[in-house]
Structure 1
Amino acid sequence: MPVHPRLPLLALGAAAFGIGTTEFVIMGLLPEMAAELSVTIPQAGLLVTGYALSVAFGSPFLAVATARMDRRHALLALMGVFILGNLLCALAPGYWLLMGARVLTALCHGAFFGLGAVVAASLVLPGRKAQAIAMMFAGLTLANVLGVPLGTALGEALGWRSTFLAVVAIGFAAAAALAAFLPRHMPVPAMSLRQEARSLGSVQVMLAMGISIASSASLFSVFTYIAPILQQVTGISVHGTTAMLLLFGVGLTCGNFLGGRLADWRLMPTVIGTLCVIIPLLCLFAFTSHGPGPAAVTLFVWGVLAFTLIAPLQMRVVNEAAHAPNLASTVNQGAFNLGNAIGAWAGGLALTLGLPYGELPFMGAAIAGLALGLAALSHALDLKARRAPASRSGDPAEPAEPALGGRLS
């Protein structure tokens, strides 16, 4: 019986939902986890940093290790790592064993999203590849709409370990869906890992990954500590925090689809314009966080803008590393998570040094300014590369200038 073409994409989205839930739900559970593990909230925030660093530096090695496997088998193996890691998180008796379990769980993250994006694109016609990738990433945004608020509520009611057990169940369901709906044979086309690695070294690829790192660091320097901000600065209850996380997740979902559409229209102008709005918005959040209503509005808009950047930046890296789509897709996921780690660490350091929770958004705005500078430089190089052929055609004697940016996005 033939499988409906959307079912494999939905299976990938289900796996993305589980991975997104385990990554983000910890933000809403930081106070409870810190209390049970007898550590400070900034120390508990390092669980976010450890996860993100594992994605950033471990996932590329796992991607290389699975590079020559049948893609269906590779995705199922990565889900096995995910299930085992979350089970260990639920059973970990202490802080450092929990940290190790988080690191293990994170190993599958970047490799799964990197390979999953390539698989999603291969399942549809050429004109629908971006939509297929967006459908898979919709599982990640849905995790913030449903998985994180429900996981936070479950953790508050039954203890944070129950949340990780629920994620294990999601992992088994997603693995079953992948096994049932992915094509039985998904051979890997011929590739050269050396050529792929060399393609990642271009100026524009490095700039794109730098933007990914800085934009994620901006987000996580504040979002990692969103629960104490809302409870101590905004003055809302634990249940109110869950509602705020739900609202933020709705914003992320809207931003995911908006970013996909805008990226197909004007890629780099979308990145630059979004960052130009994020910077003043975060500065505004330092003031609106003192009231529940203004904080809710700001959180929703921030969520929209934060995920408007994801699809354009993922497309930018893959476009500029045209000879390394598999590795580039995975490494950029690592770049996002390196930014997550830097942001969580920087926010925790600032809190340890005495910065009030209410002033963390100013740090996020400053880091977003760095992302904006990198985006402006990348776009300027694009424009320079486009002008160079025109000037050469007007003056045949003018020496050729090497292209730095590929096509204008």
Structure 2
Amino acid sequence: MQNAEPKIVFTGYEKAIIGLLAFIQFTVILDFMVLSPLGAQLLTELNITTAQFGWVVSAYAFSAGSAGLLTAGFADRYDRKKLLLFFYSGFVIGTLLCGIAPDYEFLLMARIITGLFGGVIGSIGFAIVTDLFAWQVRGRVMGVIQTAFAASQVLGIPVGLYLANALGWHAPFLLIVAVSVLVGMAIVLYMKPVNAHLNLKSDRNPFQHLLHTVSRPSYLRGFASTTLLATGGFMLMPFGSAFAIHNLGITQEELPLVYMVTGVSSIIIGPFAGKLSDRIGKYPLFLYASLWGMLITILYCNLGSTPLWQIMVINVLLFAGISARMVSSGALVSGIPDPQDRGAYMGINSSVSQISGGIASMIAGLIVVQAADGSLQRYSLLGYIVAATMAVTIVMMYIINWDVSRKQAAEAARNASPASQPPVSANQDLQS
């Protein structure tokens, strides 16, 4: 009979930090995701092609990827709170420019600026999580933070769509700016410095630090898996609203309801997936979620005109797999870097995700074409491509899981202590 799991204790401050990081992710993810449901509106109002819309999406991704690579060498040399504030401020400015963009060219420029700052924020947040929370509770923490993805659907996207329908497509971006200013004030007033990693001295200059991070085989395996993990969202989501309206047969007014129902289910599934990943293992959950995701993705992308209730059910099932994959892969990948490399690794990993996602979005814009009646052609081909990448990531994440398991076993052996221990604290400050 196995011993009972040690009780996990989160302090009030730790709970507040988890909530704050989730809210930060909410604003950044919403800024990216709101473009997808606005796709049908932007194609018409800005009189642009699907390929041009693909560039609007990928411009953010390419600039975000470039910023991550440029800052990776410096990411472990500063207090993570200060880095977070700097890039979050730039993100707010970029989003404001999106909110006042008068045409396609200005919007494209604004998305580049937003990506330069916003694309780095996620990696800083994940570095903070890895610094502050132990491996055995990281799935739970990631599960809560990843609910930002779902919350952006439940709260942000429907509200954004209603505002866009009533006031124009600029309104959602201005709403994000207003919320982000409040979040930024909370960072300033409440978050403590996150600088224990600065005690791990390194003689490498930023360029050497970057070179060291991109040359380690175990790190490279993580970057390779991230390349394919990013493909699904960037290929399918940019054209999701146009596909739903023109191919599945729902109306512009019904679209917020679809996102809301899907998001509510994802808010419930995210924390559950986090706890499940800590209980049964990060990789087993990733495996099951990927197999499920492959099946539902192919089904969804081959649908024609479909009743609204069926679309909502299939979307819930699809995003259940997506949420479980995001939570389990995020927790698993967080175990790859050493403490002194976390900022650099997370920054490069974010860059790889954004750049590969940008390429995927650009390719999707070239594959999908809009017929005279507005319907999207060859969307099913995207589904098969995404399913294929899921199959490959199952193998790649198995190898990563093997590496991380060996690393965790070695660390546990070094830190072995008497069997009788007090409850495990969720906090894993590097200074302890």
TM range (shorter): 0.7 to 0.9
Deviation at 1:249, TM superposition (A): 2.4
Residue identity in the other structure for 2:333: V
Distance 1:150 1:337 in 2: 26
Check if 1:299 corresponds to 2:315.
yes
Aligned-partner SS, 1:27: coil
**Which of the residues 43, 47, 61 maps onto 2:52?**
43
Question: Which moved further from structure 2: 30-39 or 330-339?
Answer: 330-339
Q: Give the alignment of 1:180-259 within 5 angstroms.
A: 180-183=189-192, 186=195, 188-189=197-198, 190=200, 191=202, 192=204, 193=206, 194-195=208-209, 197-259=211-273
Distance 1:263 1:114 in 2: 21
Deviation at 1:220, TM superposition (A): 2.7
Distance of aligned partners of 1:384 and 1:120 in 2 relative to their CA distance in 1, 3 Å threshold: closer
Distance 1:207 1:309 in 2: 17
Aligned to 1:61: 70
Structure 2 length normalisation: TM-score? 0.80
Aligned-partner SS, 1:225: helix
Deviation at 1:3, TM superposition (A): 7.4
Aligned to 1:173: 182
1:10-36 Cα deviation digits (max 9, x unpaired)? 222222111111110011111222223
Distance 2:393 2:130 in 1: 28
Aligned to 1:345: 362
Aligned-partner SS, 2:192: coil
Deviation at 1:127, TM superposition (A): 4.8
Distance 2:43 2:223 in 1: 32
Distance 1:28 1:166 in 2: 16
Aligned to 2:6: none
Distance 2:31 2:332 in 1: 27
Check if 1:367 corresponds to 2:386.
yes
Q: Give the alignment of 1:4-403 within 5 angstroms.
A: 4-124=13-133, 127-183=136-192, 186=195, 188-189=197-198, 190=200, 191=202, 192=204, 193=206, 194-195=208-209, 197-264=211-278, 265-291=280-306, 292-322=308-338, 324-352=341-369, 357=376, 359-377=378-396, 379=398
Distance 2:232 2:221 in 1: 16
Does the 8 Å CA contact 2:222/2:400 hold for their aligned counterparts?
no
Distance 1:42 1:234 in 2: 21
Aligned to 2:4: none
Distance of aligned partners of 1:202 and 1:289 in 2 relative to their CA distance in 1, 3 Å threshold: farther
Deviation at 1:60, TM superposition (A): 3.0
Distance 1:288 1:381 in 2: 35
Does the 8 Å CA contact 2:61/2:355 hold for their aligned counterparts?
yes
Distance of aligned partners of 1:220 and 1:249 in 2 relative to their CA distance in 1, 3 Å threshold: farther
Distance of aligned partners of 1:144 and 1:333 in 2 relative to their CA distance in 1, 3 Å threshold: farther
Distance of aligned partners of 1:266 and 1:4 in 2 relative to their CA distance in 1, 3 Å threshold: closer
Distance of aligned partners of 1:94 and 1:12 in 2 relative to their CA distance in 1, 3 Å threshold: same
Does the 8 Å CA contact 2:50/2:370 hold for their aligned counterparts?
no
Q: CA RMSD in A?
A: 3.0
Question: Which moved further from structure 2: 85-94 or 210-219?
Answer: 210-219
Distance of aligned partners of 1:262 and 1:79 in 2 relative to their CA distance in 1, 3 Å threshold: same
Distance of aligned partners of 1:206 and 1:254 in 2 relative to their CA distance in 1, 3 Å threshold: farther
Question: Which moved further from structure 2: 13-22 or 356-365?
Answer: 356-365
Aligned to 2:422: none
Deviation at 1:150, TM superposition (A): 1.1
Distance of aligned partners of 1:374 and 1:10 in 2 relative to their CA distance in 1, 3 Å threshold: closer
Residue identity in the other structure for 2:172: T
Distance 2:114 2:338 in 1: 29
How many residue pairs get matched? 386
Distance 1:195 1:263 in 2: 32
The unaligned stretches of length 5 or more in structure 1 are 388-409
Distance 1:327 1:29 in 2: 34
Query: Share of identical aligned residues, percent?
Result: 18
Deviation at 1:229, TM superposition (A): 1.0
Deviation at 1:216, TM superposition (A): 2.4
Higher RCO (CA-CA < 8 Å; seq separation 6+): 2
Does the 8 Å CA contact 2:17/2:191 hold for their aligned counterparts?
yes
Aligned-partner SS, 2:115: helix
Distance 1:213 1:384 in 2: 18
Distance 1:53 1:76 in 2: 22
Deviation at 1:353, TM superposition (A): 8.8
> Which one has the bigger helix percentage?
1
1:218-272 Cα deviation digits (max 9, x unpaired)? 2332221111111111111111111112233234434433442343232233323
Does the 8 Å CA contact 1:224/1:344 hold for their aligned counterparts?
yes
Distance 2:240 2:381 in 1: 14
Deviation at 1:86, TM superposition (A): 0.7
Does the 8 Å CA contact 2:298/2:387 hold for their aligned counterparts?
no
Deviation at 1:124, TM superposition (A): 4.9
Does the 8 Å CA contact 2:88/2:118 hold for their aligned counterparts?
no
Distance of aligned partners of 1:26 and 1:127 in 2 relative to their CA distance in 1, 3 Å threshold: same
Residue identity in the other structure for 2:398: H
Structure 1 length normalisation: TM-score? 0.84
1:119-172 Cα deviation digits (max 9, x unpaired)? 234445675444334433333431122112211221111011111111110110
Deviation at 1:278, TM superposition (A): 1.6
